[in-house]
Amino acid sequence: MKNSLLISFREFKERIGARSFISLSILGPLFVLGMIYLMFTYGGNSKQHWNVLIADHGNLLESKIMPGTSNAVTYSFYNGVISEADFADGEKYQQFDALLEVNEKVLTNKIGFVFYREEPDLKMQTRVQYHLERRLEEILVERFKTISLNDYRKIKQPLTLRYANVYDPNEQSSDLAGWAGLFFGVLIFAFIFLFGMTILRSVAKEKSNRIVEVLLASVSPRQLMLGKIAGIGFSAFLQFLFWIAIIGAGLYFMRENIFPDMLDASNMNVQQLVIDSAEQTYQESHFAAREYNQFIELVFERIQFVNMIVFFLIFFVLGYLFYGALFAAIGATTGSESDGQQFVLPLIFLLCFAMYAGYYTLNYPESSLSTVFHYLPFTSPVVVMVKLSQGYGPGEGYQIYFSLIVLLMSSILMLVVAGRLYKNGILQFGHRVRLKHIFKWLRKN
């Protein structure tokens, strides 16, 4: 254990001192913030307008939506049920761009459906979801008059709006919270790939220049492998903390300085507001600010980020151990650095497939294939993040723990297998890796 810790400290110190580590720790989150800024500054210049028909079963909304809605959305109400087929082909509904279904169950299951003719951008989805969620808050507070609106917002459950093409309802169903979960999952695999490649290059480099022979005179192969995986993993965890800190500070800075809510009393200058409101450029920037704040509130404030961060860290660590052991095994079994590059492509394909599994789960959360992806150790980190952000149904919470157990056992098994390959292959040189070599080294203690 002591030798592994020494190796781990050496690897950690070497990584955090590299220019690439410092650059990625700063430029990576700044790139993410830049994309968010561009999305809300220029993403709405198409001036897309939506005419939305709300099929309000039982007159739940009472023909009212959130006051002060933007000019980008016009709402009409119908007290009854409208089928997707009628909305798609009915002549009297052709003037509407989307159908929003609402009924009494939305107050408990927090699920609504939007059927569109042309897919809306993220900003339009933010508008519609924000307006509906605020109206539902008003309804619930009216029913439970002993609780204030602010207190309710602290304990409320997030609303899920699932979007689908009215001409092909099975094409897509997603929500903003699910996209946030997908971002967390992609972040896990981005870090796994970057630092997994670092493990592979480090092992292959030490093997090619024969430094590993000197190291193995003092430590065992398994201690060397575990120390290398742990040290590089600690540097990945530190870089992740930098990303979270910079992105969090950047979002707060943009909210307070670049996209301030001018209708907030603390930011309001009534006289200047009257003068500026007549200018078209001001209106566009004002709507961008409102939408940014709505986006932050819907996605970042309403998701239970304590649970998200906790499970993110757990699945990040286990996923890193699982894939890190694979990268270490590849580096140890190859006969040359160029030989090892051939095995990187299948791993890249596997990581890309895992991210696709997360996207598939985002669109089809209830499908049987999404359930399979949920438990596969190759895909579970990103799929669990998506499902966790969307919310597990009543009695389904056990699924995340079962997936966690499967990933834990798989990581331990992969470390054992990689340890055996590392031990028997690290001192082998000048050969081309074949399956018979892999099976031979696996059988050998």
Domain boundary pick from 124, 156, 188: 156
Q: How many residues does the chain have?
A: 445
* 216 and 144 assigned to the same domain: no
Structure confidence at residue 322 (pLDDT)? 93
Q: Please tell me the total count of domains within the chain.
A: 2
Q: How many CB atoms lie within 10 A of CB 289?
A: 21
Residues 360 and 241 in one domain: yes
| Location of structure tokens 């580590």 | 21
The three-state secondary structure class of 166 is: coil
Say if 411 falls within a structural domain.
yes
How far is residue 335 from each of residues 169, 192, 225, 430, 438, measured CA to CA in Å? 52, 24, 17, 5, 12
Which residues lie closer than 8 Å to 310 by C-beta, 6 or more apart? none
Verify that 290 and 425 share a domain, yes or no. yes
One domain for residues 206 and 313? yes
Give the distance from CA 204 to its chain's centroid: 32
Tell me: do 60 and 108 sit in the same domain: yes
pLDDT given for residue 278 in this prediction: 39
Q: How far apart are CA 188 and CA 313, in angstroms?
A: 9
| Shared domain check, 58 and 25 | no
The enclosing H or E element of 150 equals: helix 149-155
Q: CA geometry: angle at 82 spanning 76 and 83, to 5°?
A: 140
What is the reported pLDDT for 269? 42
Helix axes 176-208, 380-390, angle to 10 degrees: 160
Q: Is residue 74 part of a domain?
A: yes
Q: Does some domain include residue 203?
A: yes
Q: pLDDT (tens digit, 0 to 9) for every residue of the chain, 445 residues total?
A: 677 788 888 888 888 888 888 888 888 889 888 887 776 666 554 446 788 998 888 888 888 886 555 567 888 888 888 888 888 888 888 889 899 988 877 877 777 888 888 877 766 777 787 788 778 877 877 777 666 656 655 556 667 777 778 876 655 445 566 777 788 888 888 888 888 888 888 888 877 777 877 777 788 888 888 888 999 988 988 888 888 889 888 877 877 776 664 334 344 343 433 333 334 343 444 445 555 555 665 555 555 666 777 888 899 999 999 999 988 888 888 766 566 566 778 888 888 899 899 888 887 777 889 889 999 998 999 999 888 877 776 777 788 899 999 999 999 999 998 888 888 877 776 666 666 667 777 777 6
User: Dihedrals φ, ψ of 338, to 5°?
Assistant: -65, -35
Kindly state whether residue 142 falls inside one of the protein's structural domains.
yes
* Order of strands, sheet of 50-56, starting from the edge strand that comes earlier in the sequence: 73-78, 50-56, 98-102, 111-116, 160-165
Q: Tokens 């000048």 correspond to what residue?
A: 430
Of 156, 191, 218, the last residue of a domain is 156
Q: Are residues 80 and 215 in the same domain?
A: no
Helical axes 305-333 vs 398-425, angle rounded to 10°: 20
Is residue 152 in some structural domain? Answer: yes
For residue 377, the model assigns a pLDDT of 92
CATH number at 128 reads: 3.40.190.10
Q: Give 78-84 contacts, CB < 8 A, sequence gap 24+.
A: 78/53, 78/54, 80/55, 81/55, 81/57, 82/53, 82/55, 84/115, 84/166, 84/169
Residue in this structure with the two tokens 């890190």, named with its chain if needed = 324
116 and 29, same domain (yes or no):
no
Of 156, 188, 220, which closes a domain? 156
- Do 68 and 216 belong to one domain? no
- The Cα 191–Cα 201 span in angstroms is 15
Q: Compute, in degrees rounded to 10, the torsion defined by CA atoms 18, 23, 26, 27.
A: -160
Are 57 and 188 members of one domain? no
Quick check: is 171 in a domain?
no
pLDDT at 241: 85
The domain containing residue 150 runs over which residues? 50-156
pTM for the model: 0.67
Same-domain pairing of 291 and 339? yes
Burial category of 40 from C-beta neighbours within 10 Å (exposed 0-12, middle 13-18, buried 19 and up): buried
Considering the domain boundaries, does residue 245 fall inside one?
yes
Residue 44 domain flag: no
Q: What is the pLDDT of residue 381?
A: 92
The predicted pLDDT at position 119 comes to: 76
Q: Is the same domain home to 13 and 109?
A: no
Number of H helices, E strands in the chain: 18, 5
- pLDDT score for 365: 78
Distance CA 442, CA 329 (A): 11
